[in-house]
Structure 1
């Protein structure tokens, strides 16, 4: 494994992390504790130290599975990033919750679910500018940092060209930007990444495999089950993406190289990117993701 400094946080994070949206049950598979233990143990074995989760991956379900695991392992071995701003109701249904008082309640629920006294990176989760620009929210979060419940603040921008929230990071005390970035979506290169570099912000590239389309496993016309979040994607857009993936596989991926590993390494080539946080369904996928560092 290789490690990079996470911007001004000075944390050293593995360049490949473990994304855990799938633990919440919206990617067509239900995970039990044994499944999660095996995935995270494989990550630890391979030198991965970064877990990214959120309050709304299930109703703190992903956090609870991770917390059970952490309660039986060395907490300090892991850098845990979670998020705030949404309340999960049922599969694919959430409401925004960004009021300062409500966020404090979410924070305590996340700490309880994760079975920890502190969160390494607490991220504003894809909210609109109007609620991001609430000084009371950031003042309350800074007090939680002073109390030791949060080590660092971050912002997971919903629009991957959201320069407003990125540029305001230093002002509000956010030290990490999480953004959609992959070979099919290079928008952050234009404005977001230069802003991150100017401010010395850490960058997590989420959806680095473009919701699995860049894994090379799917062909144009692929159909996803109704329990899979990709079932909700526009069919025509999905078809175009998968046609582009076929072209990339033929013209850009070196012969004999696994496309998913290539796609992760492609993200990590950009100097602004600290780490990629791909999801994984089993230990074999964790191992395959980690192997991207060899490229």
Structure 2
């Protein structure tokens, strides 16, 4: 495994993290604690130290799985990132809750679910600029940092070209940007990444496999059933993506290299990116994801 400094947080994170949206049930899979333990144990065995979750991945369900695991392991071995701002109702249904009082309640809920007394990275979760520009929210969060409940603040931008929230990061003491970035969507390279580099913000690249399109498993014409999140995507857009993936596999991926490994390492080539946070269904996928670090050039 390789590690990078997460911007001005000074945390050293594994370049491959573990995204945990799937634990909330919205991938059409229901996980058991034993399955989650196996995934996280495999991650630690391979040198991964970064877990990314959110309070709305199944109404603290993902956090609860992680918390149960952490309660039986060394908490300090992990950098735990979670998010705030939404209330989970049912699959794919959430309501915004970005008020300062609401966020304090969410923070306490996350700490309880995670069975910890501190969160390493607490992120504003894909909210509108109006909610972000609330001074009371950030003043309240700063007090929680001072109280030791939060080590660092971050922002998970909803639009991967949200320059407003990125540019305002230093002002509100947000030290990390989480953004959609992958070989099919390079938008952040234009404006967001240069701003992150100027401010020395850490960058977490989410959806690095483009919702699995860059896994190399699917050909043009693939159909996803109703339990799969990709079933909700526009069919024409899906067709175009899979045709582009086929071209990338043919023209860019070196012969003999697994496409998913290549796609994760591709994200990490950009100097702004600290880590990628792919999801995973089982320990074998964790192992495959972690192996992408071998394709990342040694630094420093």
> Shared fold by TM > 0.5?
yes
Take 2:93 and 2:152, find their aligned partners in 1: how far apart are those partners? 28
Matching residue of 1:159 = 159
Moved over 4 A (4+): none
Matching residue of 2:173 = 173
Shift of 1:223: 1.7
Tell whether the 8 Å contact from 1:26 to 1:92 is kept in structure 2 after alignment.
yes
Matching residue of 1:42 = 42
Tell whether the 8 Å contact from 1:28 to 1:225 is kept in structure 2 after alignment.
no
The TM-score normalised by the length of structure 1 is: 0.99
Shift of 1:221: 1.8
Matching residue of 2:121 = 121
SS in 2 for 1:160: coil
Matching residue of 1:65 = 65
For each residue in 1:140-179, what CA deviation from the matched residue of structure 2 results, as whole angstroms up to 9, or x when unmatched? 0000000000000000000000000000000000000000
Shift of 1:17: 0.2
Matching residue of 2:262 = 262
Take 1:236 and 1:30, find their aligned partners in 2: how far apart are those partners? 29
SS in 1 for 2:62: helix
Tell whether the 8 Å contact from 1:126 to 1:157 is kept in structure 2 after alignment.
yes
Take 1:252 and 1:265, find their aligned partners in 2: how far apart are those partners? 13
Matching residue of 1:195 = 195
Shift of 1:231: 1.2
SS in 2 for 1:151: strand
Shift of 1:220: 1.5
1:285 corresponds to 2:285: yes
For each residue in 1:56-107, what CA deviation from the matched residue of structure 2 results, as whole angstroms up to 9, or x when unmatched? 1111100000000000000000000000000000001000100000000000
Shift of 1:235: 1.1
Take 2:129 and 2:28, find their aligned partners in 1: how far apart are those partners? 32
Matching residue of 1:253 = 253
Structure 1 segment 19-98 matched on structure 2, within 5 A: 19-98=19-98
Matching residue of 1:230 = 230
The alignment covers a number of residue pairs equal to 295
Moved more, 209-218 or 225-234: 225-234
For each residue in 1:103-152, what CA deviation from the matched residue of structure 2 results, as whole angstroms up to 9, or x when unmatched? 00000000000000000000000000010000000000000000000000
For each residue in 1:25-68, what CA deviation from the matched residue of structure 2 results, as whole angstroms up to 9, or x when unmatched? 11121111011000000000000000000011111100000000
Matching residue of 2:298 = none
SS in 1 for 2:176: strand
Long gaps (5+) in structure 2: 296-300
Matching residue of 2:143 = 143
Take 1:119 and 1:257, find their aligned partners in 2: how far apart are those partners? 37
For each residue in 1:249-286, what CA deviation from the matched residue of structure 2 results, as whole angstroms up to 9, or x when unmatched? 00100000000000000000000000000000000000
Shift of 1:225: 2.1
Structure 1 segment 91-106 matched on structure 2, within 5 A: 91-106=91-106
Take 2:261 and 2:90, find their aligned partners in 1: how far apart are those partners? 33
SS in 2 for 1:136: helix
SS in 1 for 2:89: strand
Moved more, 136-145 or 233-242: 233-242
Long gaps (5+) in structure 1: none
Shift of 1:226: 1.5
